[in-house]
Amino acid sequence: MRVRFRGVLRREVVLLRGPLGWAEWAPFVEYDDRDAARWLAAAVELGWRGLPDPVRTEVGVNATVPAVGPADVAGVLARFPGCRTVKVKVAEGGEELTDDLARVAEVRRVAGPGARVRVDANGAWDVEQARAALRRLARHDLEYAEQPCATVEELAALRVALARDGTDVPVAADESVRRAEDPLRVAREEAADLVVVKVAPLGGVARALAVVQACGLPAVVSSALDTSVGLAAGVALAAALPRLDHDCGLGTAALLAADVVPEPLLPVGGRLTTARADTARSAVDPALLAAYRAPAERERWWRDRLGRAHAVLAGTRGRDRRTGGV
């Protein structure tokens, strides 16, 4: 990684070659085998089952600003030329609200009054902290706040509190959708104005499309710190959504200091195309795979984990066949 993001400085992934091309399996190391199995389902879809047809050929993407100081904001934004939307990380561990205010203020200054600015707290605030923070951050004309609180109950309470305060900041649900046993609950309990969906955590493009349709809320497609192979699946999802009103968080190859393809899937003019995504999936470079191959001990750890995730996935699909579930 160019800078620390989501607490990560080095991203670890497994690349799998299927009959339909390269696929990526990269559950974060702290995730359990059940979470990892959903990510594996997405990889199987990408490499073995295929993707739905697109309804658009290009997708707008946002710039992403990690928890950097104001002096570093302009340099980060320079890696996302043409992007009209910026997502800013807030509520980072060890920082204060004053740090968030300074970072967002500098993003607004550099990006200009016409840019859309959204913040992402990754569920770090409780309701009162989120209420106070968003009241102050709202002066920068926020597009929305992503996962300001951890639970569905908190998100629902926060939406009510923001309305009472007259704080005009929509709430987006991310972790409450992608890591939930019931990803539709946020819609039923009116806990979000829109949903952020990611291909791998939801088990693939087809499953993510079904979740968005069932939620009935506007959707934003985002990445999970993927390489260009994983990002290609995100582009496929964004391109297949019947409705796409927001720029998507699929420009995160700019946060990587290295990739597995010679020409990473970076936005041009603030946009990614399905044609470039397809090219990225077929352009994995053996020399880059060799250069960044994990040490033998770490590779064994991932192979063992892959076996466990496969066993969970096989068991889940066996139960689904017996019960008629999806």
- Catalytic site positions: 89, 198
d(CA 149, CA 12): 27
Name the helix (H) or strand (E) containing 38: helix 33-44
Listed residue (139, 140, 168, 170) closest to 155, CA to CA: 170
Q: Which two tokens stand for residue 64?
A: 């992403």
**Residue 132 contacts residue 91 (beta carbons within 8 Å):** no
**3-class SS at 171?**
strand
The C-alpha atoms of residue 236 and residue 314 are separated, in whole angstroms, by 25
| CA dihedral over 313, 222, 47, 9, signed as positive or negative | negative
| CB contact set of 15 (below 8 Å; sequence gap of 6+) | 22, 23, 24, 25, 227, 229, 260, 284, 289
